[in-house]
Structure 1
């Protein structure tokens, strides 16, 4: 099955949706239109049973070069404050849509992964890179603050406050080696193996208990603002709900029969 979005590519096979920005000649920048269409696609994802995991892949040797200089940066310099706030809220809505899409998202980044592209990778649940991947939060390079699309909240939780501060103040590139050592990248593989590694990771997740995965993603995000006591109670409630699922019963029956469980997401 293939979705037909206007501003990015989407292919769905085996419960895995693979997205790619489709301007490889420009290193896949984002535009006003692609921001909005990606936001709407992720917003609709909780209601789709045909997608169990998402791979946000690269195209032409690069992941994403951020906001298009001519299509976005130029027009922004001529906008009113009201228009600018509408834009920054829309870009933040893409991150919120990814966080709340109920499905695990895997970023598979090769080459350039900067600006809003780095944010998309950051907002994903899991991240795979190549040795050639260069990641930079470039916002100060264009005279802006590093606090864009949730970076000051999310990046320190992934790589630590000091490292995040350095990247957000300086806008310098983080190498793939640094990113893996700091916990930003889950895995670094040769470029020729990037797609296969991300698809394999997605397939293993998609074969699991998808209702349980939805609950895991929900708790990972909600517990940021909870006390430890609140988090433990929330997880008790979440796990009790999961124990009502058929997948939980299937897993038990398979264990008794010494078989591998086949989960169906209900």
Structure 2
């Protein structure tokens, strides 16, 4: 796939691009924006391709008509899964996990703007983002347990405890209960809760701030956050020393220095 962000027209989700910021959103509002086999795969391929698209500097994964994502479509996904053999099921679960790998693997920071329902795989998409903003009535549910499945889906047992702690993650994953916006902000799951009419503007404000920053260095930060999960402290410090030395060779680092000397605000270019 060769992706030009200015002309890109996905089949299974919405895409807008302006001033270095891309906006993604599912668009089946009558069903609270569920995922299908096709939208899973297209989103996976899209986030994989972002590794090579320097023009896109930040992503907002938004909501549509009052909801973020209700998870896998009952008729298009859940029904067919009941009929699959183990080989087919494993192919599916690996494909859905690949979406999270692609989101974590792309250098662009991703901001989830969560309005209304964020359930199942929809909760996972928000969880896998780098920032999460929500409206006061947002409801997040890792509801796999409630449909007879384990909570260990698409990296939930790895990522969620790192966001909110082991005990709180255990509660959500063992029960599938809904997490409200206020509680989610208190637990550290949501970065910020804002009024519904302000959600998109707040998410875009952060995205534009990130897009105007040292985007190469931002990508390094995201990479180190990923890599250092299973490193010892000594290994992590050495990895950060090497990463920072690379960033010190960028033009953005020199631009920041010269701007400081001139008492001006640096204008970063991402190189």
TM-score by length of 1: 0.99
Matches within 5 A, 1:134-173: 134-173=139-178
Q: Equivalents in 2 of 1:164, 1:87: separation in Å?
A: 24
Equivalent residue, structure 2, for 1:56: 61
- How much does 1:92 deviate? 0.1
Cα RMSD (Å) of the superposition? 0.5
**Aligned partner (choices 40, 47, 71) of residue 45 of structure 2:** 40
Equivalent residue, structure 2, for 1:76: 81
For residues 205-224 of structure 1, what are the alpha-carbon distances to aligned partners after superposition, in whole Å with 9 as ceiling and x for unaligned? 11100000000000000000
- How much does 1:3 deviate? 2.2
SS of 2:83's partner is: coil
SS of 1:208's partner is: coil
| 8 A Cα contact 1:137 1:167, kept in partner | yes
| 8 A Cα contact 1:61 1:111, kept in partner | yes
Q: Equivalents in 2 of 1:178, 1:153: separation in Å?
A: 21
- How much does 1:49 deviate? 1.5
Matches within 5 A, 1:110-259: 110-259=115-264
Structure 1 segments unaligned to the other structure (5+ residues)? none
- How much does 1:2 deviate? 4.7
SS of 2:25's partner is: strand
Equivalent residue, structure 2, for 1:27: 32
Q: Equivalents in 1 of 2:209, 2:263: separation in Å?
A: 20
SS of 1:102's partner is: coil
For residues 56-110 of structure 1, what are the alpha-carbon distances to aligned partners after superposition, in whole Å with 9 as ceiling and x for unaligned? 0000100000000000000000001000000000000000000001110000000
Q: Equivalents in 1 of 2:96, 2:36: separation in Å?
A: 10
Q: Equivalents in 2 of 1:70, 1:216: separation in Å?
A: 40
SS of 1:61's partner is: coil
SS of 1:214's partner is: helix
SS of 1:77's partner is: helix
Q: How many residues align?
A: 266
Q: Hey, which bits of structure 1, 4+ residues long, moved more than 3 A?
A: none
Q: Equivalents in 2 of 1:14, 1:46: separation in Å?
A: 18
Q: Equivalents in 2 of 1:2, 1:218: separation in Å?
A: 28
**Aligned partner (choices 12, 15, 36) of residue 10 of structure 1:** 15
| 8 A Cα contact 1:2 1:11, kept in partner | no
For residues 90-133 of structure 1, what are the alpha-carbon distances to aligned partners after superposition, in whole Å with 9 as ceiling and x for unaligned? 00000000000111000000000010000000000000000010
Q: Equivalents in 1 of 2:7, 2:206: separation in Å?
A: 21
Q: Equivalents in 2 of 1:50, 1:259: separation in Å?
A: 25
